[in-house]
Structure 1
Amino acid sequence: MTVPASVYRPVSVEPTHSWVITLQKPLRTGFATFTVDGTYTAKPGSTRQQAYKDIRAWVEQQKPELVDANVMFFSLESNQL
């Protein structure tokens, strides 16, 4: 899953980072756990914290039931090998 163009992804620019996030939220019968990955294009001068906030907001927009879920795992790495 790729963060949409509206979250800092100009068409002419290759994604700068690859990410993975796992969220978990308690339910009456157990837990809802969701893992998703994608790519992110950072604006010049942006921070890792801003990338996390952008990605988390996008995931919560896609899966509103995970708003306020606990982050079990988050990784943001350079997309270039």
Structure 2
Amino acid sequence: MSTQTSHTSSPAPAVQGSHHWVLTLELPGRAVSTQYGTYTPPVGWTRHDVFMAIKREIGEQRPELATANVMFFALEPNQL
């Protein structure tokens, strides 16, 4: 006699940063872009440091947004 046991498990959650951010940028008269993600800043960084790092990274990925106006920025701890 053979017995089979089946186990299913949920996939491990994706690793996320310690903070969740949302940034909306505008190129007046041309485009509005809202992006979001998670980020773990180095020890001692300020909110401004994180903002500048995220804005710089977006500008590197999408050069047309490097000089865009900031319409909205939020940075919160990524926990409930």
The corresponding residue for 1:45 is 44
State how many pairs are aligned: 66
- Give, in whole Å, the separation in 2 of the partners of 1:37 and 1:67: 16
The corresponding residue for 1:72 is 71
Unaligned runs of 5+ in 1: 1-12
Q: Which 4+ residue blocks in structure 1 deviate beyond 3 angstroms? A: none
Q: Secondary structure at the match of 2:30?
A: strand
The corresponding residue for 2:55 is 56
The corresponding residue for 1:9 is none
TM-score (structure 2 length as normaliser): 0.76
- Give, in whole Å, the separation in 2 of the partners of 1:80 and 1:36: 19
Unaligned runs of 5+ in 2: 1-14
Q: Rate the CA distance shift 1:69–1:44 in 2: closer, same or farther, 3 A.
A: same
Amino acid at match of 1:46: W
TM-score (structure 1 length as normaliser): 0.75
